[in-house]
Amino acid sequence: MTDFPHRSIISIEQLSVEEIRLTFERAKNYLANWDDFTAHTTTLTGKTVALAFFENSTRTKFSFEIAARRLGATVLTFTASSSSQQKGESILDTIHTLEAMGVDMMVLRHQSSGIVDFLSQNSSIRFLNAGDGQQNHPTQALLDAYTIENTANKSLNNLRVCIVGDILHSRVARSNIQLLTKLGANVSICGPKTILPKHTPYNVPVIKTIDEAVQENDVLIVLRLQKERMENGLLPSLEEFSKYYGISSSVIAKNPNISLLHPAPVNYGVEIAFDVAQDYPNSFIKQQVTNGVAIRMALLSLINN
């Protein structure tokens, strides 16, 4: 058995603590050689990585593309709107077609929960889940945990981390709860009842107010309101959400040591104020993006073994 036996990255659930640590170690090495672009260019030489995003993305898509190119892969972008899917081809047929052309790895984001797992079981292509429905976003969770430990410099063991906002529709929340719990953190959630799940994943506690969430935690992971997945009527208004759950400078002042993360894109003035996101010294939103490239390089190279 190798140190990293996985052909595909579908969810955090499949990864052991040792495999997560190995991923972090590898990401750290890539970051240490960040400016030496030639250092890693042969790892995926001769391999073809296809990016298929059926939902919009900036960060995940481009960071996977940069990661794969840095490792020397040939990168293809699959565009559903100009593909034969428009003529009725099934996604499984599409995958088998790409497989027949020699695609080795596929980075897939799709609105259907579970689809990446299904496709990985029915194809020889190695998959990296870039977000499936409301279920998993494993690379986001890995880059978040990595950022807490290595950029915010907080050990995850017994760390108090609160995930704030739209937990109900969030694959980032699910993957983060799984990962942070696995690594020893005490995770809680905070948000309006209508956008919290009825059964909290892993029975994490619910914190009622944003002031308590800030005062009682070491890290806040603030989530985007997923308006595209929301039924009408879940929130009275964005202004009201912002008033009771938004992160403003007066809220953050209640615990100036708290670290602030957000997977982005950010709705400024809704879940977080622009000045807090940009200027608060313990806001790590930009560093999350950089760390994301290294985490994705680590995973691409590990599944290539």
Distance CA(155)–CA(182), nearest Å, equals: 13
Which residues between 125 and 164 bind ligand CP (CB under 6 A)? 131, 140
* Residue 175 near ligand CP by CB under 6 A: no
Provide, rounded to whole angstroms, the least separation between the CB of residue 154 and ligand CP: 21
| Nearest to ligand CP of 33, 58 (CB atom) | 58
Provide, rounded to whole angstroms, the least separation between the CB of residue 197 and ligand CP: 20
Which residues between 69 and 108 bind ligand CP (CB under 6 A)? none
Provide, rounded to whole angstroms, the least separation between the CB of residue 171 and ligand CP: 9
| Nearest to ligand CP of 70, 137 (CB atom) | 137
Find residue 53's DSSP bridge partners: 109
Provide, rounded to whole angstroms, the least separation between the CB of residue 52 and ligand CP: 13
Distance CA(66)–CA(297), nearest Å, equals: 9
**21-60 mask for ligand CP (x: CB under 6 A)?**
------------------------------------xxxx
| Nearest to ligand CP of 30, 53 (CB atom) | 53
Provide, rounded to whole angstroms, the least separation between the CB of residue 283 and ligand CP: 15
| Nearest to ligand CP of 182, 262 (CB atom) | 262
Provide, rounded to whole angstroms, the least separation between the CB of residue 16 and ligand CP: 24
| Nearest to ligand CP of 43, 57 (CB atom) | 57
Distance CA(77)–CA(35), nearest Å, equals: 26
* Residue 264 near ligand CP by CB under 6 A: yes
| Nearest to ligand CP of 4, 65 (CB atom) | 65
Applying CB under 6 A, among 259, 263, 276, 299 the residue interacting with ligand CP is 263
| Nearest to ligand CP of 57, 287 (CB atom) | 57
Provide, rounded to whole angstroms, the least separation between the CB of residue 228 and ligand CP: 11
DSSP, residue by residue, the chain: --S---S-B--GGG--HHHHHHHHHHHHHHHHTTT-TTTTTTTTTT-EEEEEESS--SHHHHHHHHHHHHTT-EEEEE-GGGSGGGGT--HHHHHHHHHHTT--EEEEEESSTTHHHHHHHTSSSEEEEEEETTTB-HHHHHHHHHHHHHTS----TT-EEEEES--TT-HHHHHHHHHHHHTT-EEEEES-GGGS-SS-GGGPPEE--HHHHHHT-SEEEEPPP-GGGPPTTSSS-HHHHHHHH-B-HHHHTT-TT-EEE--S---BTTTB-HHHHHH-TTB-HHHHHHHHHHHHHHHHHHHT-
| Nearest to ligand CP of 242, 288 (CB atom) | 288
Using only C-alpha atoms, the chain has a radius of gyration, in whole angstroms, of: 19
**273-302 mask for ligand CP (x: CB under 6 A)?**
------------------------------
Q: Is 288 exposed, middle or buried (0-12, 13-18, 19+ CB in 10 A)?
A: buried
Provide, rounded to whole angstroms, the least separation between the CB of residue 101 and ligand CP: 26
Distance CA(28)–CA(57), nearest Å, equals: 25
Query: Interacting stretch for ligand CP, rule CB under 6 A, among 13-21, 247-255, 262-270, 293-301?
Result: 262-270
**Given the rule CB under 6 A, which residues bind ligand CP?**
57-61, 131, 140, 263-265
